Amino acid sequence: MSYGAQFVRTWPDLSAFNRCLVSFATGLCLLLGVVTPIASLIVAFGETTMHPLRKLRESGNPAPAQVSELLAENIGFNSPILVRPIEGREVCDFEIEEGENTMNQTTGQKEAEASTSVKAVDMKLEVTVIPVSDVERAEQFYRKLGWRQDVTPPGSGVFQFTPHGSACSIQFGRNLTSAAPGSAQRTYLIVSDIEAARNALLAAGIEVGEIFHITAEGPVPGPDPERRTYRSRALFSDPDGNSWLLQEITTRLPGRVDSEVTSFASVTDLITALRRAEAAHGEHEKRTGVRDANWADWYAAYMAAEQSGNEIPT
């Protein structure tokens, strides 16, 4: 006889309390019969949709190569996730932080958007502070350099000078910085002709070291034999020992300046650029064997390419 049939036969013999108890037990059995398969489905679905990195994390202690491979394969997984290494562990252990999937936007995407918005903000380097011990002595030195002395608020005790052709200035004065006098070292001053710049400084009574150039073996006396850009340099210092490094730059490395804009900071820069273009154009005419009637176009293309770091015409 089945359990159901036995249950029906014996029902009238049960007390009211027992009948309630049996009803509850029967309902529970029926409920479990339905819920258990559903629960299994939910667990299986959870395992299917679990982030691959979480699966790897819960499987034990993954090797670094496993984590790197899985990151590369699942970089676009449909869930914002942060994988943070735990330092001090010999194994590749990490914590995972999952956030809400809002518009399918990952943390990396948000950071990229923030970076893009910051890039659009103009931030021009305006002034750098030079630590000096005697402001009057420093004022006389920088005047001797021929730098423009800018107006500062009366009574401020601040002095400002701007090198010829520069968009950035220097300042010094009382209580401007806690840095030790003379601690500003090898601040770059870019020139288009290092020999001419050094001679001008010497004529103004400034002590300047000998010109040297950079090689794979280290500094070598004299300018670069081929006058390659960025190579030739010379040093001088102010009375406190703050040093300045002259560096000859004639052609910029790619990406250093806006390739769509060609500009010259001073008449001197423009003159030296024209002279370099003239010399290069002379070599161009020697190679072609004919006079170039469109020399102005060639000059313009050469000067723009030289400044932006693009390929120079030959």
| Amino acid occupying residue 285 | E
Judging by beta carbons within 10 Å of its beta carbon (0-12, 13-18, 19+), is residue 56 exposed, middle or buried? Answer: buried
Check: pTM over 0.85? Answer yes or no.
no
- Which pLDDT score, from 0 to 100, does residue 33 have? 58
Averages of pLDDT over each 10 residues, the chain, 314 residues? 40 52 57 53 49 64 60 47 46 47 57 73 90 97 96 93 93 94 97 95 97 96 95 98 96 68 73 83 86 84 77 78
- Which pLDDT score, from 0 to 100, does residue 165 have? 85
| Token pair 């299994």 in the structure block, residue | 40
Beta-carbon neighbour count of residue 299 at 10 Å? 19
Domains of the chain in start order, with CATH, are 3-48 (no CATH), 50-108 (no CATH), 127-248 (3.10.180.10), 267-308 (no CATH)
Q: Which of 155, 165, 241 is nearest to 200 (CA)?
A: 165
Question: Please, where are the H alpha helices in 145-289?
Answer: 194-203, 267-288
Q: In angstroms, rounded to a whole number, what is the distance separating the alpha carbons of residues 281 and 275?
A: 10
